[in-house]
Amino acid sequence: MSLAASTDQSVIVVGIRFRPAGRIYYFDPLGQTFATGQYVIVETVRGVEAGRIVIASKKVTESDLSDPLKPVLHVATEDELRLMLSYKSKEKDALVRCHERIVQHHLPMKLVEAEYTFDGSRLTFYFTADERVDFRALVRDLAATFRTRIELRQIGARDQAKLQGGVGPCGKTLCCSSWITDFGIVSIKMAKEQGLPLNPSKISGVCGRLMCCLSYENDNYIQAKQQMPQIGTFLDTPSGRGKVVSINVPQNSVEVMLESGVPIHVPVDNAEEKAQAGGG
Of the two residues 126 and 278, the one the predictor is more confident about is: 126
Helices marked H in 105-241: 136-146, 157-164, 175-178, 188-193, 200-203, 218-226
- Closest-CA residue to 22 (of 182, 206, 169): 182
What is the architecture of the domain spanning 228-277?
A: Roll (2.30)
Other C-beta atoms within 10 Å of 203: how many? 20
User: Under 8 Å CB-to-CB from 250, ≥6 apart: which residues?
Assistant: none
Report strand pairing: 149-154 vs 70-75.
Answer: unpaired
If you average pLDDT over residues 142-159, what whole number do you get?
A: 96
The answer to whether the beta carbons of residues 123 and 109 sit under 8 Å apart is no
Look over the chain and give the mean of its residue pLDDT values, rounded to a whole number.
90
Q: Is the pLDDT confidence value at 276 over 70?
A: no
Residues of the chain with CATH 2.30.30: 228-277
pLDDT band at 268 (very low <50, low <70, confident <90, very high): confident
What pTM was computed for the model?
0.77
If you average pLDDT over residues 168-181, what whole number do you get?
A: 90
CA pair distance 112, 200, nearest whole angstrom: 24
If you average pLDDT over residues 177-189, what whole number do you get?
A: 90
- Closest-CA residue to 74 (of 40, 106, 104): 40
CA pair distance 123, 227, nearest whole angstrom: 55
Strands (E) located in the chain: 10-17, 25-28, 39-44, 47-61, 70-75, 110-116, 122-128, 149-154, 234-237, 240-248, 253-258, 263-267
CA pair distance 186, 14, nearest whole angstrom: 30
Q: Is the pLDDT confidence value at 242 over 80?
A: yes
Q: Is the pLDDT confidence value at 273 over 70?
A: no
Other C-beta atoms within 10 Å of 40: how many? 21
Residues of the chain with CATH 3.30.300: 86-155
CA pair distance 266, 248, nearest whole angstrom: 10
Fold held by 86-155: GMP Synthetase; Chain A, domain 3 (3.30.300)
